[in-house]
Amino acid sequence: MRKMKRCVIVGGADINNYDFIREKLCADDYVVFCDSGLKHLGRLQVKPGLIVGDFDSHENPHLDVETIVLPCEKDDTDTVFAVKEAVKRGFDTFLLIGVVGARLDHTLGNVSILLYLDSLGKKGSITDDYSEMEIVSDKPVSICDRYAFFSLLNITGCAKGITVTGAKYPLHDGEITCEYQYGISNEVLPGETATVSVKQGKLLLIKIQK
């Protein structure tokens, strides 16, 4: 069976370290540019498979690429629409870039996309200039020691039965609520691989680059 390509969603938040972001891209990625995410087109050096947006923050470039023009007044942001459209097209793995920035409202909304994808049984991650983010839910997640720090944040409900091994601050059968975020700035032990698992609920894992 042919492996489905990964879908990369490009938002309009600033990207400062293009070299780092380009290292995360693959030649066969299916790339969707969302409205002002088009400002990254030249620096990312990738070919868009799809362009979506209401073009209120970037002019429609009218490229020879499939383009979906959205109304300005709508419930979904351009980025959320792009993710939903890619889900309809059968993609199971997603990387979001250019979605974390100065607009906290958009940033939090984009982070919640990871919860949406996880609820569908799909794998999603966000990469910015400094970090990588993903959801820990029904499957353990490993973290290698090339990261400077990693943090576990509860962004929905209550996470119980949390176990962290191979880290400076291990945890067994712990609980993190939205009201008390004590899982910030842990470290993988040198030469080890840390593992995070959750029995109930979900956590946002943020891995900070060295």
Q: Which fold has domain 7-129?
A: Rossmann fold (3.40.50)
pLDDT in the model for residue 102: 87
pLDDT in the model for residue 1: 42
Contact of 22 with 8, CB cutoff 8 Å: no
pTM for this prediction = 0.93
**Measured between alpha carbons, how far is residue 92 from residues 5, 139, 188 in Å?**
8, 16, 29
Does residue 2 carry a pLDDT above 60?
no
Q: What is the CA radius of gyration of the chain?
A: 18
Per residue in 96-110, pLDDT (tens digit) is 999 999 899 999 999
- Domain locations along the chain: 7-129, 136-209
pLDDT in the model for residue 107: 95
CATH homologous superfamily of 136-209 equals Thiamin pyrophosphokinase, thiamin-binding domain (2.60.120.320)
Write the DSSP assignment of 131-155 as a string of letters. Answer: EEEEEESSS-EEEETTEEEEEEE--
Helices 104-119 and 78-88 cross at an angle (nearest 10°) of: 20
Per residue in 114-142, pLDDT (tens digit) is 999 999 999 999 999 999 999 999 999 99
Average pLDDT over residues 85-93: 96
pLDDT in the model for residue 210: 84
Identify which of 82, 114, 71, 64 has the alpha carbon closest to the alpha carbon of residue 10: 82
pLDDT in the model for residue 110: 95
pLDDT in the model for residue 4: 74
φ/ψ (deg, to 5) at 48: -70, 140
Per residue in 24-69, pLDDT (tens digit) is 999 999 999 999 999 999 999 999 999 999 988 888 889 999 999 9
In the chain, the percentage of residues whose pLDDT exceeds 70 is 99
Per residue in 70-84, pLDDT (tens digit) is 988 888 999 999 999
pLDDT in the model for residue 106: 92
Residues 6+ apart with CB under 8 A from 77: 106, 109
Per residue in 178-198, pLDDT (tens digit) is 999 999 999 999 999 999 999
Per residue in 167-177, pLDDT (tens digit) is 999 999 999 99
Q: How far apart are CA 91 and CA 98, in angstroms?
A: 19
